[in-house]
Amino acid sequence: MDCDLVIVGGGGAGLRAALAATLADPGLDIVLVSKVVPMRSHTVAAEGGAAAVLRDDDSFAQHFDDTVSGGEWLCDQRAVEAFVAACPQELIQLERWGCPWSRQDDGRVQTRFFGGMRVQRTWFAADRTGFHMLHTLFQTSLRHPSIRRHDEFFCTDLLVDEHGLAGVLGVDIARGTPVLYRARAAVLATGGAGRVYAHNTNAGIVTGEGMALAAVHGVALRDLEFVQWHPTALPGSGILITEGCRGEGGLLLNAEGRRYLQDYDLGPPDPWPRPRAMELGPRDRLSQAFWHEDRARRTVTTPQGSAVLLDLRHLGAERLAERLPMISEVARRFLGIDPVTTPIPVRPAVHYTMGGVATGLDGATALPGLFAAGECASTGIHGANRLGSNSLAELLVFGRAAGEAAAAWSRNAPSAAGGSLLREAQARAGQAYALLAEGHQAGRPRVAELRTAMHAAMEDGVGIFRDAEGMQRACQALAELRARYRAGVALDDRSRSFNTEWLAAIELGHALQVAETIAHAALARRESRGAHRRRDAWSARDDANFLVHSLAYCDPQAAPRIEHVPVTLTRSAPGERSYGGAGARVALD
Amino acid sequence: MTDPETILIEVLRWHPDTPEAPWWQSYEVPYRADATLLEALQTIKDDLDGTLTFRWSCRMAICGSCGCMVNGRPELSCHLLLRDLAPGPVRLEPLAHFPVIRDLVIDQQDFLDKLPAVGAYLVPAEETEAAAAAPAAPSRQTPAQMADYYQYAQCINCLLCYSACPQYGLKPDFLGPAALALMARHDADSRDHGQAGRRAARDADTGVWDCTLVGHCTEVCPQGVDPARAINRNKTASARDYVFDLLLPGRRR
């Protein structure tokens, strides 16, 4: 089918891009392709909030400084300047569209503390911020019939000709039939790749295929070695327990009942919440602190592994019900624990992919006509460690930018590709269908077998702390897994209708490629910075050699090629990254 | 009582390639007290039978994907622990009242079509183009004003309420609990200016008056939304508007 613009992914970034494109150009024929109905997208699970300067005691300069130091100066500063300036506008726009931001008594928007942020900068909707943002965007999209939704269509490939992007290939999941979207502009908004790890906070759909699709066509993946562990997830399942808990005053205790973060340069352990200190430190530092506590056996044992304790008891039943209702329900339902009376056992789990498809500020990639936004993209704002509540703001700011830029591009793009495109489409679609047709052949591994092996390789070699030996082991294991995958996987299900085993096999191929890229990008960074922390000869930060982004160029058959390019600095020279210490005492309202 | 080693899960299966007859299939799955029913289904998919088909995503009861009938009652599979289902067997069927695409996967298009039909979106005040493009500040809304609609805004569109609703089973064009709750959610929002546009759907044969006040929708809701209350509220509004329209002809836009 022909259209002007295809948006791949119906989460926050994709919906915001679609709305921006149709508002910029109401005559545009937009197709929103998503492997799930948009309100099922993983944005729905974001809990704590979205950052934007709102209060009188805050400023763009402070949001910039918190973000850049939080990212340990690997942030692209031009991108951060544009980002912090655009956040308030976007959160106000969401308010106009109906987002139920939590309010103060006088009706003004309420804000809360988040890790690494010196001011109460995080707008929230109780502890279901992503849910409310996503539903607000989805509901608003219903007002715009020029956004045609193809719910439960799975994107399998991109089509490229000499002018750039020429189309998108998909599968109608319910029927199992191939679909060709012929368009000169596409926005990838497919989310992150947290599911390449075993223990993660991500929904099952977060398998990284948008990154892999761009990479297959020569677009660089930037800074993939920076993977965020969220310090507070449930052991076993990895279900997220929001940082908002600590923003509200929650404490982290080890098995001895000690607020152990004071032992990791995050103290002093004030009884009041001190911004950028203790439990309000950044996620990389908190997850690394857990790792040390666990090795020192100062963690508690649960049936699902070791944990520390998140103590919310002092907040009281009323505040928990008002500010953290979902977390309270999750603890009751999944652990049989009432946080009003009992601390919640938590441990780090993979949460967010800081890197992604390399884009400019307008979401444009190196492939003309291809744009990317949200977690699958890398504008460079997160650097080596993302601050909590910057990603929900990001998907709005850069979702909008990508939607507007893609709309403008499609209006001026070269005419649709001709007959050769159809042949190319058939050839490429054939690859996906070959997987299905050959799935019965003997001796092939099951999808779950390869996936489990990928999880093991990543957890073992590319974890919270890394060393050369472990990363090399992971690279080797992933190369072997990719080779086995290319030789074919076993499928019980060879029918076409709603074949989720087949789709999982396609996802696995993309995930393996992203996983291998993460491992190689990590190995190539011979320093420690933010979430990339090494325990070998490169345990220190090295600004002289590694104040650089990594760019990974993927190869369908071989290991990715890693290059490094300088980081754009504007006004913040790399400095000491310090948390804790002398912060002002802050009263919670 | 010692834990069983396995639990029996029986699934009502159906495939469009062999549409004649659905069939029951049993799976014996390793039992772990704190595993969810969804995890048991994933074990079947990964290790025992890759053809078993079901939707899932967030595994924390917020995305609304994994609804199915569990021992005759609509539930989210991620939200039930095996401990609460032991010793089994556990009987799973697709959500009642919906066409089936395959196994536990139902066709949700009817619901998706009803969302725009009920005006399930906020209609902001008309603004100048410049103001709309760059709003300067959030509007104010007090906690009391939020309380008017907030509960209904918690709907995750999981469709359990449609499976519980006998009226929807009898009359599929009934707008149904979630859509009507979302209508009420927006009507009750102090920022909304779309009430007039929702009246026709509310007052139609398929709107609030079609509800027969059984209240099962509220009982099965995993998020504590009270669609029955939302519908009642709109019945009151509908009746009030009807009386006013009789008394004051020409009032209605």
pLDDT in tens, B31-61: 999 999 999 999 999 999 999 999 999 999 9
The verdict on whether omega for the bond into residue A268 sits within 30 degrees of 0, i.e. cis, is yes
For range A524-549, the mean pLDDT: 98
Q: Are the Cβ atoms of B50 and A501 closer than 8 angstroms? A: yes
Q: Residue B253's pLDDT is what? A: 42
| A101 near B CB under 8 A | yes
Looking at beta carbons, which residues of chain B come within 8 Å of A335? 34
The CA distance from A61 to A43, in Å, is 28
Residue spans in chain A of domains classed CATH 3.50.50.60: 28-228+352-419
Percentage of residues of chain A with pLDDT beyond 70: 98
The CA distance from A497 to B102, in Å, is 7
Query: Residue A281 pLDDT more than 70?
Result: yes
Q: Are the Cβ atoms of B156 and A500 closer than 8 angstroms? A: no
Q: Residue A581's pLDDT is what? A: 79
The CA distance from A75 to A65, in Å, is 11
pLDDT in tens, A116-133: 999 999 999 999 999 999
DSSP class per residue in chain B: -PPPSEEEEEEEE--TTSTT--EEEEEEEE--TT-BHHHHHHHIIIII-TT-------SSSSS---EEEETTEEEEGGG-BGGGTTT--EEEEPPTTS-EEETTEE--HHHHHHHHHTT-S--PPP--HHHHHS--SPPP--HHHHHTTGGGGG-----HHHHH-HHHHH-TTS--HHHHHHHHHHHT-TT---HHHHHHHHHSTTSGGG-----HHHHH-TT---HHHHHHHHHHHHHHHHHHHHHSTT---
| A491 near B CB under 8 A | yes
| A55 near B CB under 8 A | no
Q: Residue A270's pLDDT is what? A: 87
pLDDT in tens, A541-580: 999 999 999 999 998 889 999 999 999 999 999 999 999 9
Residue of chain A nearest B101, judged by CA positions: A174
pLDDT in tens, A385-434: 999 999 999 999 999 999 999 999 999 987 776 778 889 999 999 999 99
Q: Residue B134's pLDDT is what? A: 66
Q: Are the Cβ atoms of A498 and B124 closer than 8 angstroms? A: no
Per-residue tokens: A254: 């080890």
Looking at beta carbons, which residues of chain A come within 8 Å of B49? 492
pLDDT in tens, A230-271: 999 999 999 999 999 999 999 999 999 999 999 999 999 988
The CA distance from A194 to A355, in Å, is 12
Q: Nearest CB to B101: which of A40, A143, A498?
A: A498
**Residue of B31, B63, B105, B155 for testing the chain A interface, max A β-carbons within 10 Å:** B63
For range A529-535, the mean pLDDT: 98
Higher pLDDT, A185 or A414: A185
Q: Nearest CB to A92: which of B120, B135, B191?
A: B135
Residue of chain A nearest B117, judged by CA positions: A142
The CA distance from A107 to B146, in Å, is 9
In degrees rounded to 5, what are phi and psi of residue B104?
Answer: -90, 5
The whole-angstrom distance between B74's CA and the closest CA on chain A is: 17
Residue spans in chain A of domains classed CATH 3.90.700.10: 229-351
Q: Nearest CB to B121: which of A92, A142, A334?
A: A142
Query: Residue A333 pLDDT more than 50?
Result: yes
Residue of chain B nearest A173, judged by CA positions: B101
Q: Residue A589's pLDDT is what? A: 43
**Residues in CB range of A270: below 8 A, 6 or more apart:** A277, A278, A585
| A106 near B CB under 8 A | yes
Looking at 3.40.50.300, 3.90.700.10, 2.60.40.1180, 3.40.50.1100, the CATH number of the domain A229-351 comes to 3.90.700.10
Question: What does the mean pLDDT of chain B come to?
Answer: 93
The CA distance from A69 to A382, in Å, is 10
| A132 near B CB under 8 A | yes
Point out the residues of chain B with pLDDT beneath 50.
252-253
Cα-based distances in Å from B217 to A117, A517, B226: 42, 48, 8
State the helix-helix crossing angle for B195-203 and B177-187, rounded to 10 degrees: 150
The CA distance from A340 to A429, in Å, is 54
Looking at beta carbons, which residues of chain B come within 8 Å of A91? 138
For range A491-495, the mean pLDDT: 96
| CA dihedral sign, ordered A492, A498, A504, A507 | positive
Residue of chain A nearest B129, judged by CA positions: A23
The whole-angstrom distance between B187's CA and the closest CA on chain A is: 12
Query: Residue A586 pLDDT more than 70?
Result: no
Q: Nearest CB to A109: which of B60, B122, B138?
A: B138
Catalytically active residues of A, by annotation = 230, 246
- Going by their DSSP bridges, the two strands A533-534 and A227-233 should be labelled as unpaired
The CA distance from A354 to A349, in Å, is 14
The CA distance from A227 to A471, in Å, is 14
Q: Residue A414's pLDDT is what? A: 79
pLDDT in tens, A356-398: 999 999 999 999 999 999 999 999 999 999 999 999 999 999 9
Number of Cβ atoms within 10 Å of the Cβ of B188: 22
**Chains A–B, number of C-beta pairs less than 8 Å apart:** 162
What dotted CATH number matches A28-228+352-419? 3.50.50.60
The whole-angstrom distance between B69's CA and the closest CA on chain A is: 19
- The number of CA neighbours under 13 Å toward the Cβ of B211 is 30
Question: What does the mean pLDDT of chain A come to?
Answer: 96
For range A103-109, the mean pLDDT: 97
Q: Nearest CB to A140: which of B55, B121, B136?
A: B121
Query: Residue A75 pLDDT more than 70?
Result: yes
pLDDT in tens, B103-124: 999 999 999 999 999 999 999 9
Q: Residue A588's pLDDT is what? A: 45
Q: Residue A343's pLDDT is what? A: 98
For range A332-350, the mean pLDDT: 97
The CA distance from A345 to A368, in Å, is 48
Looking at beta carbons, which residues of chain A come within 8 Å of B117? none
| A140 near B CB under 8 A | yes
Reported as a pLDDT band with limits 50, 70 and 90, residue A582 is: low
The whole-angstrom distance between A182's CA and the closest CA on chain B is: 25
Q: Residue B129's pLDDT is what? A: 59
Which residue segments constitute the domains of chain B, with CATH numbers given? 6-106 (3.10.20.30), 109-247 (1.10.1060.10)
Asked if A32 contacts A7 with a C-beta cutoff of 8 angstroms, the reply is yes
Closest CA relative to residue A524, chosen from A228, A221, A285, A284: A221
pLDDT in tens, A497-515: 999 999 999 999 999 999 9
Q: Nearest CB to A500: which of B53, B142, B143?
A: B53
Chain A, window 196-215: residues with a beta carbon less than 8 angstroms from a chain B beta carbon: 203-205
DSSP class per residue in A74-120: -S-HHHHHHHHHHHHHHHHHHHHTT----B-TTSPBPEE--TT-SS-
**Residue of B17, B36, B37, B57 for testing the chain A interface, max A β-carbons within 10 Å:** B57
